[in-house]
Structure 1
Amino acid sequence: MSKTVLHVNFAKGFRGGERQTLLLLQELSHKGYTQTLLTRRHAELAKKVSALALENVVIIEVKKPYLLSLSLLKKADLVHAHETKAAQFAFLGHLFFKTPYIITRRVDNAIKNNGFTRAMYRYAHKTVVLSRAILEEVKKIEPRANLSIIPSAFSKLSVSPHEVEKIKERFSGQFVIGNIGELDNDHKGQYYLIEAMKELLPRYANMHLLFLGKGKDEEAYKAQASSLKNVTFEGFVSNVGDYIATFDLFVFPSLREGLGSILLDVMQAKVPIVASNAGGIPDVICHEKNGLLVAPKDVSALAEAIERLYLDKTLREQLIESAFQDVDLFSPEKMAERYAALYAEVLG
């Protein structure tokens, strides 16, 4: 009888962590794993996994309070928690039913240091982190945690040549600088990118900054960029791959980042990258090898790096080729292989 891995993700929306959960489910299904996905009711993740009709994957949607569904963990051979609420749920399941669990932590922000959280990480069979930055955050509160690094995977985004051409026509003759992510300065630091564009656009009128995403700072950013002609706030789009294919440069000025999985999709699309030397980003981007890194919040350094790549096509091409070679290390298949090896430790 095959053993079951129960994946738990109670996130409401569908962001990077949920995309990675989906990719893992997909790859493990191809490997023949029997899996259950436990989500909140009407979760976007449940909808997207259901649409894939994956073999040997059962989806269970539960309503709050989630504790009323704790008995579901009794039947699992292994629980894989993909976000914080799921990790708390898995820990309680372990206390009641002795079900082994692993945690994947995807963010590098400070962790609440209390007895419950320390025990949650201490009793996990394994805590998987995406980067060295996240590893250090876990070690700060629970040095006894059993830690492994398994980075995110690129998403194999679909690209429609017809849609790409339509977008290119909109920005014809312009050097498109892309940014993708939640419009949230505390996390993504787009304020500093807009300030850098204020330095650059008077000298390079064909530069065009294109934001994909929405968030709490959208209106503040629009006000900040109101004097700039070539800045577009596109909002949320479902065809991200088509947009990336039109970028001449991708700029990622995050102030903190677990890894920055969108960087992997950009690398695979052969777009050069300027990013902050923050969080887990240096685990992906090696300065002067497959991209350029700048200090967070340093507007002048950011503007200088953008200008450098704008003017130097040869350097752009060198960084692109190196990044495209490196990104193979971050394939969904390799991510699934690493998790499969970890599951084998528990399941035998």
Structure 2
Amino acid sequence: MHICHINLASSYHGGENQTFELIQQQIRNGYEVTALANPKGPLYARLLTIDCTVHPIRHHLLNHTHNFLNKCDLLHVHEGRAVYWALIQKAIFGTPYIITRRIDNPISSKWITRQAYQQASALVGLSKPITQQLKKISKLQAVLRIPSSPVSYPVSEDNVKIIQQQFAGKFLVLQAANMLKHKGFDTSIKAAKQLNSDYPNIHFCFIGDGSERHHLEQQATNLKNITFVGKQSNMGDWFHAADLLVHPSHSEGLGSVILEGMKAGLPVVGSNAGGIPDIIHHEHTGLLTTTGCGETLASNIIRLYNDPALRGQLVNNAHRYLNEVSIESCAEKYEQVYLNAVDNACLVKGKQQKSLKGNIPN
């Protein structure tokens, strides 16, 4: 099977990481893979290092003058603007496509956006809230849920020791995300204020950068239990040096960093928002907190700080859960989606050809 993946993002976040991991697994499974990516984005550079054909696409309106994908069976769209590229490609050449959506906010009501989703052969969401949004816009195509798979990062024991020395004697709580309003760093700061006096050994480390960073640093003024370390390229080292991962987002499609923390052996605490409850099953694979409530986040952190046995239990349960969402499992699920989409596209094409023949006069 020859699949073309499309992700035109100019940045590199969880969605791009998942696109890359799926492509790698499909290559291992014997697929022929083509990828379309923004040449200014980090994903494009990473794709050049693996065994797939990569084409630069700078804009969803460009590169439709010739069908360089004539050997592809299906397009797999991974990013918002790419849905329009796939829609145009289908209109010109009839190439079927599927869409994977990673955010749980409502889909635009614009006519062109609705057309892009309704012309897809199948719609895939990472979590229940996302599939609910997809069902509101779908026509007759299938709407399925295929969660992200956990990603592992390399670990340097020397780097881990450096981090541990930097926070010696601390119970290190990580939050790693782009510093945007909906990511809930403000909730973590509220929790830090609650813990600052009575639990000086609990220390928050914020990994990431973004438009909210300056405002968050102002909120954390005079708090000695928070350190902002900016973006980090060695997440494997940070995961292994830490004791706990928190992800108190106000909204979230799924939360791939939670899966990454679980994979690295960290207990996790997340908010009861968006798709997070799909992967954090309360009291089983992690703990859930009230969205936006620093007090409940603080109490859950205290609970895990005081209960090493519970931390171990959550980690063990999470590892068993991760086996169900491995990249191998996700690739198998996508293969079935692809086969159904291609079969349906051939069926529709056959009906159209039959109809055209029936209209040709004798």
Q: TM over 0.5, yes or no?
A: yes
Q: Distance in 2 between matches of 1:342 and 1:65?
A: 24
> Counterpart of 2:34 in 1: which secondary structure?
strand
What does the per-residue CA deviation read over 1:112-135, in whole Å, with 9 as the maximum and x for residues that have no partner?
112222222222111111000101
The structure 2 residue matched to 1:39, chosen from 27, 33, 37, is 37
Matched, 1:280 2:293: no
Q: Is the 8 A contact 2:271 2:289 kept in 1?
A: yes
Q: Deviations over 1:30-85 (max 9, x none)?
A: 1111111111223210111212x32xx10111334633436346513211111111
CA distance in 1, matches of 2:178, 2:252: 12
Q: Verify: 1:326 aligned to 2:324, yes or no.
A: no
1:232 aligns with 2:227: yes
Q: 1:104 aligns with which of 97, 100, 106?
A: 100
Partners in 1 of 2:80 and 2:191 — Cα distance?
Answer: 35
SS in 1 for 2:241: coil
Q: Which moved more, 1:251-260 or 1:298-307?
A: 298-307
Partners of 1:65 and 1:270 in 2: how far apart? 40
User: 1:91: Cα distance to partner?
Assistant: 1.3
Out of 226-235 and 338-347, give the one that drifted further: 338-347
SS in 1 for 2:64: helix
CA contact (8 A) 1:73 1:79 kept: no
1:254 maps to what in 2? 249
The answer to which of 66-75 and 81-90 deviates more is 66-75
* Structure-2 residue corresponding to 1:243: 238
Pick closer, same or farther for the CA change 1:122–1:198 going to 2, 3 Å.
Answer: same
Relative to structure 1, is the Cα distance of residues 12 and 97 closer, same or farther in structure 2, using a 3 angstrom cutoff?
same
- Give, in whole Å, the separation in 1 of the partners of 2:288 and 2:275: 12
Whole-Å Cα distance in 1 between the matches of residues 126 and 112 of structure 2?
A: 23
Query: Is contact 2:192–2:225 with CA below 8 Å preserved after alignment?
Result: no
Residue 125 of structure 2 corresponds to which residue in structure 1? 129
Residue 357 of structure 2 corresponds to which residue in structure 1? none
Indicate conservation of the 8 Å contact 1:295/1:301, yes or no. yes
Q: Which residue of 2 aligns with 1:6?
A: 4
Question: Would you say the 8 A contact 2:208–2:229 is kept in 1?
Answer: yes
Structure 1 residue 14: deviation in Å?
A: 0.8
Task: Determine helix, strand or coil for the equivalent of 2:116.
Answer: helix
**Which secondary structure does the structure 1 equivalent of 2:104 belong to?**
coil
Is 2:118 the counterpart of 1:147?
A: no
CA distance in 1, matches of 2:108, 2:268: 33
For the residues of structure 1 that align with 2:93 and 2:330, how far apart are their CA atoms?
29
* Partners of 1:282 and 1:324 in 2: CA distance: 16
* TM-score normalized by the length of structure 2: 0.91
Question: Quick one: distance in 2 between partners of 1:261 and 1:270?
Answer: 15
Task: Give the alignment partner of residue 162 of structure 2, picking from 160, 163, 166.
Answer: 166
Residue 188 of structure 1: aligned partner? 183
Is contact 2:8-2:59 (8 Å) kept?
Answer: no
Q: What is the aligned residue count?
A: 342
Helix, strand or coil at the partner of 2:106: coil
Q: What TM-score does the superposition give when structure 1 sets the normalisation length?
A: 0.94
Cα displacement (A) at 1:97: 1.4
* Residues 64, 321 of structure 1: alpha-carbon distance in 2 compared, 3 angstrom cutoff: closer
Residue by residue over 1:198-229, the C-alpha shift from the partner in whole angstroms, topping out at 9 and shown as x without a partner, is: 01111001111001110110001111111101
Change (3 A) 1:128 1:70: farther
1:308 counterpart (295, 303, 307): 303
Change over 3 Å in CA distance of 1:70–1:85 after alignment to 2: farther
> Is the CA contact 1:194–1:224 (under 8 Å) kept in the aligned structure 2?
yes
Match of 2:22 among 10, 24, 28: 24
What's the C-alpha RMSD, in Å, of the aligned pairs?
A: 1.5
User: What residue identity is the alignment partner of 1:323?
Assistant: A
Q: Distance in 2 between matches of 1:199 and 1:235?
A: 23
Which 5+ residue runs of structure 2 have no aligned equivalent? 344-362
| Distance of 1:28 and 1:115 partners within structure 2 | 34
**2:115 aligned residue:** 119
Residue 269 of structure 1: how far off its partner (Å): 1.3
Shift of residue 144, structure 1, vs aligned partner: 4.2
